[in-house]
């Protein structure tokens, strides 16, 4: 009897972002990709191409249970040797001819049960071990002698696998196609930085970097709906082989959209490769990119991309712009049988030397918060963005960092409108595009327009006035207009508020930051 085998990688984010160094995450990302690729960990282990190999999931058919078990044994061995620390749940489900759809549905339940019931391995942590890994705290296995700064730092087996010479070379070439789309400036080619210090800081200015995490909304439900509508086994197989590769390329195509966006902004200025915003008032935010005789480093670095899930780092000043670029790319792409994919983005912007793993954890929490907000408001076909500016305390959740935006006794954050819908016709909620183009825009009522640009101190003061409520904003605007004449705000703002929430503090935070 034929058997359907499912593989689901467990704890991908914990594996990739277990270290506080960007270069370790860069090395771990292609290992995750290798674990589910037909020409990677699956090579030579199955006679038929996988039905699904995307987003950390694999679906394979075997002629019988014995063949499926042989695959599981060989695959587990490869994972143990090549990707120590990255685990996978494996489940099998036998089926008869014409029952493939039912087998897929049952296998999803089997995998969920396997993930909850699995017993993690219990290595002899600390027994016979005299040192802990500098990055993860796990038992040390060896040293990275190729690191001139810390050649004798004890490291765990998983970190050593990420830093292996062959792995570094593979990680460097993984995004080569993206680099080919990067602009050539003064004969110099674009490269990706391997260090957060090289993301494009400005001399004499506060250096910030952003971690952006994007995740699709309801993709699993879309797959379930498609599967329920399949008529027979052939339709299931054909459909999987149509939408699976398209979904797997979704994140990569979004990264390509980012490169096109950067190509517009990057150019030469006084012999230096620089990034410049499109609005005249953002010219002061231009920043140098480190370069040598042949290359310059982009202010952007992909870290993890698979299906509808991606993570990248960039200079903090362009994080929100690149995040919205990804969401727009998702919405513009139609996946066969699944339709358009909507997504949420979480952006954490912190000082450059903030522990990388902590910043990623906050970005992931912000993305989850935006997804939860959409579900609570029954917005199924919408994208949203949420962000936080500032260094989080260890273990801080989104609810913790939002307390500073609350003035009511109930603790609901009324001094922010985050998360923002990417775009919507909803009159009761501002959108990111409205915040970007109108409130932070260069129009007559925009805070970067001529009227407010000549009164920047007043624009910044709005962020303080909202803490005293709607009446304080109305009184201040009236006093300013009595002296200087009309000082408009966008028409949808009533005394600086949308219902009981205000975007003015959000705008103040981004006024001198967002490029």
% of residues, the chain, pLDDT over 70: 90
Give the H or E element holding residue 9: strand 3-10
pLDDT of residue 426: 53
Q: What is the pLDDT of residues 333-362, one digit of tens each?
A: 999 999 999 999 999 999 888 888 889 999
pLDDT of residue 283: 47
CA–CA gap between residue 13 and residue 29 (Å, rounded): 10
pLDDT of residue 120: 59
Q: What is the pLDDT of residues 97-143, one digit of tens each?
A: 999 999 999 999 999 998 888 765 555 555 555 677 777 767 777 78
% of residues, the chain, pLDDT over 90: 32
CA–CA gap between residue 396 and residue 401 (Å, rounded): 7
CA–CA gap between residue 191 and residue 438 (Å, rounded): 35
- Our CA angle for 304, 306, 312, nearest 5°, is 30
> Is the predicted pLDDT of residue 37 greater than 60, yes or no?
yes
Q: What is the pLDDT of residues 273-319, one digit of tens each?
A: 777 765 555 444 566 777 777 888 888 999 888 888 899 999 999 99
Please, are residues 382 and 342 in contact by the beta-carbon 8 Å criterion? yes
pLDDT of residue 63: 93
Q: What is the pTM of this model?
A: 0.87
Backbone angles phi, psi at 361, to 5 degrees: -60, -40
Neighbours of 66 (CB within 10 A): 10
> Is the predicted pLDDT of residue 468 greater than 80, yes or no?
yes
Q: What is the pLDDT of residues 152-186, one digit of tens each?
A: 788 777 777 777 766 666 666 667 778 887 778 77
Q: What average pLDDT does the chain have?
A: 84
State mean pLDDT over 90-95. 94
Q: What is the pLDDT of residues 210-249, one digit of tens each?
A: 999 999 999 989 999 999 999 899 999 999 999 999 988 8
pLDDT of residue 464: 84
According to DSSP, residue 439 is labeled I
> Is the predicted pLDDT of residue 410 greater than 70, yes or no?
no
Please, are residues 30 and 303 in contact by the beta-carbon 8 Å criterion? no
Name beta bridge partners: 343: 216
Residue found by looking up tokens 């705000």 in the block: 489
Longest Cα–Cα distance of the chain, Å, equals: 85
DSSP codes joined into one string, 305-340:
EETTEEEEEEEGGGHHHHHHHHHHHHHH-EETTTEE
CA–CA gap between residue 105 and residue 103 (Å, rounded): 5
Burial class (CB in 10 A: 0-12, 13-18, 19+), 180: exposed
> Is the predicted pLDDT of residue 415 greater than 70, yes or no?
yes
Neighbours of 125 (CB within 10 A): 10
Instruction: Place 96 in a pLDDT band, splitting at 50, 70 and 90.
Output: very high
Please, are residues 296 and 275 in contact by the beta-carbon 8 Å criterion? no
pLDDT of residue 14: 84
pLDDT of residue 345: 96
pLDDT of residue 103: 92
């Amino acid at each position: 009897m034929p058997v359907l085998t499912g593989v689901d990688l467990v704890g991908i984010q914990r594996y990739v972002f277990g270290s506080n160094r960007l270069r370790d995450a860069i090395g771990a990302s292609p290992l995750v990709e290798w674990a589910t690729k037909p020409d990677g960990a699956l090579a030579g282990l199955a006679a038929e191409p996988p039905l699904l190999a995307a987003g950390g999931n694999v679906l394979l058919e075997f002629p019988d249970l014995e063949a499926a078990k042989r695959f599981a044994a060989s695959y587990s061995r490869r994972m143990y040797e090549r990707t120590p620390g990255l685990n996978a749940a494996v489940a099998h489900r036998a089926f008869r001819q014409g029952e493939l759809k039912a087998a897929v549905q049952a296998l999803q339940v089997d995998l969920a049960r396997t993930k909850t019931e699995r017993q993690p391995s219990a290595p002899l942590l600390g027994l016979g071990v005299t040192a802990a890994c500098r990055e993860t705290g796990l038992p040390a296995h060896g040293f990275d002698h190729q690191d001139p700064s810390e050649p004798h730092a004890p490291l765990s087996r998983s970190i050593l696998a990420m830093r292996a010479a062959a792995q570094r070379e593979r990680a460097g070439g993984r995004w080569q196609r993206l680099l080919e789309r990067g602009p050539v400036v003064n004969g110099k080619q674009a490269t990706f930085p391997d260090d957060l210090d090289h993301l494009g800081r400005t001399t004499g200015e506060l250096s910030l970097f952003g971690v952006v995490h994007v995740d699709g909304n309801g993709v699993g439900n879309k797959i379930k709906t498609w599967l329920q509508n399949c008529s027979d086994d052939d339709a299931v197989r054909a459909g999987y082989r149509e939408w699976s590769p398209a979904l797997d390329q979704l994140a990569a195509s979004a990264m390509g959209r980012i490169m096109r966006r950067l190509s517009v902004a990057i150019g030469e200025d006084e012999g230096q490769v620089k990034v410049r915003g499109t609005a005249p008032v953002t010219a002061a935010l231009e920043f140098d990119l480190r370069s040598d005789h042949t290359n310059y480093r982009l202010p952007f670095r992909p870290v993890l991309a698979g299906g509808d899930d991606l993570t990248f780092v960039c200079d903090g000043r362009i994080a929100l712009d690149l995040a919205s670029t990804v969401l727009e790319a998702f919405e513009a792409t139609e996946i066969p049988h699944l339709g358009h994919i909507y997504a949420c983005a979480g952006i954490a912007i912190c000082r450059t030397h903030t522990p990388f793993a902590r910043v990623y954890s906050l970005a992931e929490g912000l993305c989850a918060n935006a997804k939860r907000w959409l579900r609570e408001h029954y917005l199924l076909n919408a994208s949203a963005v949420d962000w936080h500016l500032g260094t989080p305390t260890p273990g801080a959740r989104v609810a913790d960092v939002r307390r500073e935006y609350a003035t009511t006794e109930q603790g609901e954050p009324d001094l922010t409108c985050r998360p923002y819908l990417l775009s919507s016709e909803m009159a009761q909620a501002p959108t990111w595009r409205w915040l970007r183009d109108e409130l932070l825009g260069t129009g007559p009522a925009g805070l970067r327009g001529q009227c407010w640009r000549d009164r920047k101190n007043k624009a910044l003061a709005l962020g303080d006035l909202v803490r005293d409520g709607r009446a304080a904003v109305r009184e201040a605007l009236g006093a300013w207009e009595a002296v200087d004449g009309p000082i408009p705000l966008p028409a949808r703002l009533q005394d600086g508020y949308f219902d009981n929430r205000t975007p003015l503090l959000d705008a103040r935070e981004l006024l001198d930051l967002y490029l």
